[in-house]
Structure 1
Amino acid sequence: MKKSLIIILFLIYSGVVHQSAFGQNNPSHEAGYKSDTVEFKNFRTVLIPIIFYTPETQFGFGVGGQLFFRTKGSRIDTRLSNVFISAIYTIKNQFILDVIPKIYFKNERYFFNGAFKYKIFPNNFWGIGNNTPDSNLEEYNMESYEVKAAFLKRLPPSLNFGFEYRFFQHDVIEVKEDGILANGEVIGSTGTTLSGLGVVFNLDTRDNYFSPNKGHYLQLYGGFTSKAMGSTHSFNKYEIDTRKYFPLKENHLLAIQGYFEFNFGDVPFQNAAIFGGADRTRGYFKGRYIDNHIYAIQAEYRYSFRPRWKVAGFVSAGEVADIPSNLTKGIKPSFGGGIRFQILKGNPSVIRLDYGIGPNGNNGFYFGVNEAF
């Protein structure tokens, strides 16, 4: 990958909201900063310019808007509900539209977490398995509609439990002639519709959502996708995401994450376990390896060398496999480092630039907002 010089001017609104959202996952590779605000009696709106860079998208840019409000009857000291809307275009001709509502009810005793995504996303594919050769590389294009809707109940002080509905429609609109996807043998290569229900449990004691300095996080998900609910394929998915943050001596922090995913049944490649990306296994293209199951473990050492500047070094290891027992038969390592800049004093949000390296020429730059985990 060619090295790039990045020079960016950010317009920042000084009231960035930085509270946790019931322990939901950190958005990946989106760098949004509030630049303009309109205040009203019961709500406020914020405009957000967006810019980011990953190997999968290269440079992406767009605009977003966020509406903040409190639901009827909520106390003034409760978290603000919000709806985030963004439209993004990348230099690889990818388009992504996101609508993300996070709504708190009854003084945060209940929480609705939703996500609607529409995207046209030209992408790369190497096949299914943990040993696909680089020579397999082919490009394809896909149009997708994705919906997630979770309703959680808070179990004080740090537990949350609820149900989540997931819907995906992936239409493969272009494949390489005589390529792997063209022969129709890969599940999902001709498109798929998925509809399913799951259970979510999380425990979150992190001090903040964007750049944690202490605490831990555990999220468990178990769900099924069924033809009885309108799916073209049926399978079960189980996910475990656990993170721990260890403050060391002053200005030093060790962060550790373990992620595990298991899929059983007829799993389309679009919703299988995916290795690589900006969050868990930096240094590999997201989707370089795809299979039914995955483990990914990473550790990151962060050092604040100035009040608003940090450097970080990370190592990761993981694998994908067709059956769980084969996860122990291989390991895909990577390592790297980067620099972070705290956007505003007193606010944990950071701009992040990382470079990850894996074996066999795998590498990548990642530029966006907030820590990988």
Structure 2
Amino acid sequence: MKKLLTFLTFFLFIGQLLAQDSIQYKPNQIREFKLVPLPAIGSNPANGWLFGLAPSATWRMGTPETTHLSNLVGNFLYTTKKQWIFSSRSNIFLSEDKWILVGDWRYFITSQPTFGLGSSTPNMPSENPNQLGVLWGEQQMDFSWVRFYETVLKRIGTSKFYLGMGYHLDVFSKIENFLEDENSPSELNFSHDYYNQQFGFDLDKYTLSGITINGVMENRDVAVSPYEKNFALLSYKINPSFLGSDKSSSTLLLDYRHYFNLSEKRKRHLIGVWGLANFLVSGDLPYMSLPSIGYDMFGRSGRGYAQGRFRGESMVYSEVEYRFPLQKNKETFGGTLFFNSSSYGSKLTDERLFEKINAAYGVGLRVMINKENRTTISADYGFGRKGNSGFYLNVNESF
């Protein structure tokens, strides 16, 4: 009897292990889940210092050989400029990379300077010589911002290409303009108000709602901190009034990134190249929905300038970054040197794209806190034109 019980116990134990193993490799089940509940201390020119929590999670929905790591980065932050920032941004790869789900959810009670449209705007507030009675240069804005973006992409066969659709919603509300300098020409119209009046948008609240048609090539080894290969995105946004947009419009977004290895033994030693373009194709957009620097998904473009420093109906941005390890045999510490440039066109100010280019450069330090999924703390200092500069403290690589 004891032997029978022993055998039964043994087979039950083996059966349980097999069952667990079969569950472990069942498609689209979460595996290798890792959560890093980081206390957040960040910095950038638009927000000042940020404090709170920035949890970062990675997991896999299939076998490591066929499925990329999924990732989610959250932010629950308060800033020295009295802003509240809540966000969740995710890239989820289902089993065998057959589907990708991309999410970008935000709720901001925030503020930000705006400088007018085009690439030629000055730092200090003054009258726009091309638009009499209109301010250009630094003008402060308080506003609330709700964003809900969710995209579903389907893999084409066994290729690295995906096609899909998404829904996007941006609601800007409680918008207030003001000048911090009492000596500024306060009798002039704010750039935001003047633009919205010209194109028939409300001054204190507006909505952009619509669908996206997307094509993606996902060929990076790890999305949050790539060492090799490339990524491309083509996204056409349609913003019809019957879906809630204040006015109908459409835009085209192009995004390409490539990573060139400089050493087979140390793949962290590389050059990364990033090209980004955003164009208004038809209709009109409200002011805060116009293409702008620092408004990519993770807010990493334009180091050297504050978010929103340049804005226009058309935008072209490029960046090159040299990344290298700082230790001979370890991957904990790394460094970067970067250079970026951007140009903005505006039909309202008659400034053409590439008429003026704003460049920036800088240096950065990287601290890898999780080698397996390459979670990295990044600290950068960038220098732009006309005295613009900024310190940037974030999680993961810039692109």
**TM-score (normalizing by structure 2):** 0.74
2:44 to 32, 37, 54: 54
Alpha carbons of 1:206 and 1:228: their partners in 2 closer, same or farther (altered >3 Å)?
A: same
> Which of the pair is proportionally richer in helix?
2
Answering whether residue 85 of structure 2 is matched by residue 121 of structure 1, we say no
- Using the alignment, how far apart are the partners of 1:224 and 1:340 within structure 2? 38
Residues 171-182 of structure 1 aligned to structure 2 (within 5 Å): 171-176=173-178, 178=187, 180-181=189-190
- Using the alignment, how far apart are the partners of 1:120 and 1:61 within structure 2? 15
Residues 45-124 of structure 1 aligned to structure 2 (within 5 Å): 47-63=37-53, 86-100=75-89, 108-124=97-113
Does the Cα contact within 8 Å between 1:275 and 1:320 map onto a contact in 2? no
Other-structure match for 1:230? 244
Alpha carbons of 1:332 and 1:94: their partners in 2 closer, same or farther (altered >3 Å)?
A: same
**TM-score (normalizing by structure 1):** 0.79
- Residue 49 of structure 1, CA deviation: 2.3
Does the Cα contact within 8 Å between 2:319 and 2:340 map onto a contact in 1? yes
1:362 to 381, 388, 399: 388
- Residue 267 of structure 1, CA deviation: 1.4
1:213 to 215, 227, 230: 227
Q: Which has the larger radius of gyration?
A: 2
- Residue 368 of structure 1, CA deviation: 1.1
Other-structure match for 1:272? 290
Superposed CA deviations along residues 231-256 of structure 1, whole A, max 9, x for unmatched, are 11222111111111111146431111
Superposed CA deviations along residues 249-271 of structure 1, whole A, max 9, x for unmatched, are 46431111111110132111211
Aligned length: 331
Superposed CA deviations along residues 243-301 of structure 1, whole A, max 9, x for unmatched, are 11111146431111111110132111211111257622211111111101111111111
Other-structure match for 1:31? none
Does the Cα contact within 8 Å between 2:176 and 2:204 map onto a contact in 1? no
Does the Cα contact within 8 Å between 2:56 and 2:73 map onto a contact in 1? yes
Alpha carbons of 1:131 and 1:347: their partners in 2 closer, same or farther (altered >3 Å)?
A: same
2:195 to 186, 204, 208: 186
Uncovered stretches (5+) of structure 1, i.e. residues with no partner: 1-39
Superposed CA deviations along residues 181-219 of structure 1, whole A, max 9, x for unmatched, are 388322254321111111111112112122211101111
Answering whether residue 364 of structure 2 is matched by residue 338 of structure 1, we say yes
Uncovered stretches (5+) of structure 2, i.e. residues with no partner: 1-29, 126-137, 179-185
Matched residue SS, 1:228: helix
Q: Percent identity?
A: 27
2:345 to 321, 325, 338: 321
Alpha carbons of 1:44 and 1:130: their partners in 2 closer, same or farther (altered >3 Å)?
A: closer
- Residue 108 of structure 1, CA deviation: 4.2
- Using the alignment, how far apart are the partners of 2:75 and 2:272 within structure 1? 30
